[in-house]
Amino acid sequence: IMLWLLWGKRVRVRTVVLTAAITIGVVIVAGFVDLLRPRDQRTHLGRLFEKVGHDGWSGLWVVVRRKAEANLGIIALSPWTLLIPVVFILIGYFFVKRPGPMRGVLRNVPELQATYIGLAVLSVLGWFLNDSGIVIPGLMLTVAVAVLVYVAARMEQPDDTVIELTDTEVLV
């Protein structure tokens, strides 16, 4: 989706369906290739295909249910659960109260919009497909916001000003 947007194309429902179909096809091919490896060297995907081969679709649903339970369990315990809404509220606040720099970033760096849409898609997939759950979109959001703030701060400087950070100015 991100590449499609970077190429200047519009994302339509047909594009999303085609991208999903290609992705599913690649995952299926990778799963069957993984099944060719020795049993003790298979990845999660190969073991999933093996389980579906032995238990049928019920084996797939067992894995899906286990991942969903793991993700829901992490939501209740993770600080990211509280941080993500706060970050979205702050981003919204800056777009309302200081729209110039934020809209300027998206206007002057159009690749960021495509990148952020790609990150959003990847965050949702990472959330649902990885046992780490909410941590995946939380970390991606942290990096995305840091880039947005940095670029917006650079845009507010006069053209001939170079922002240099010393070791003492970098916050970790």
Tens of pLDDT, residue by residue over 116-125, are 888 888 888 8
Question: What's the pLDDT at 85?
Answer: 84
C-alpha separations of 33 from 20, 24, 75 in Å: 20, 14, 34
Is the pTM higher than 0.75?
A: no
Question: What's the pLDDT at 170?
Answer: 47
Question: What's the pLDDT at 6?
Answer: 87
Question: What's the pLDDT at 35?
Answer: 93
Q: How far is CA 150 from the centre of its chain?
A: 20
Compute mean pLDDT per 10 residues along the chain, 172 residues long, and list them. 86 90 94 93 90 89 85 80 83 78 76 86 83 82 82 65 51 44
On the 0-12 / 13-18 / 19+ scale of CB atoms within 10 A, 140 is: middle
Question: What's the pLDDT at 126?
Answer: 83
Kindly report, residue by residue over 97-133, the tens digit of the pLDDT.
Answer: 777 777 777 777 878 888 888 888 888 888 877 777 7
Question: What's the pLDDT at 25?
Answer: 96
